[in-house]
Amino acid sequence: MFLCTHCGACCTLIHENWIGYEKFKEKGWILPDSVCANYDAATKSCRIYEQRPDVCRLNTEKRLLGWDIPDELWLLHVEQCCEESHMRVYDVPRERSGSCNHRVKGS
């Protein structure tokens, strides 16, 4: 089972290939450094978590993409994306349990 460790890596790497990029750009939510404007780096959390868009919700993103794949494969895909994002942001492997306590590389 996929476990989100609330590292915030997915909120700090918003790029043109991301499914929600255009929507976030229209709302002015993408900062010049590609970080979501709703992301609180101090707490590694979302300032609008309860009202976050569907694209930020793992359980609805598969539907938004139109992917008809089993949930088990979807979770493996999400986990791999998280691994890659975590490595890009923190330069260390993602935790497997507990919350992320890493600092952004270079800071």
Over 80: is that where the pLDDT of 1 sits?
A: no
Domain ranges of the chain: 9-90
Q: CA 96 → CA 8, 27, 36, 85, 86, distances in Å?
A: 15, 33, 24, 14, 12
The tally of CA atoms less than 13 A away on the side-chain side of residue 92 is: 11
- Over residues 48-94, the pLDDT tens digits come to 989 988 778 776 776 767 777 888 887 787 788 888 888 888 898 88
- Over residues 8-31, the pLDDT tens digits come to 888 988 887 777 788 888 889 999
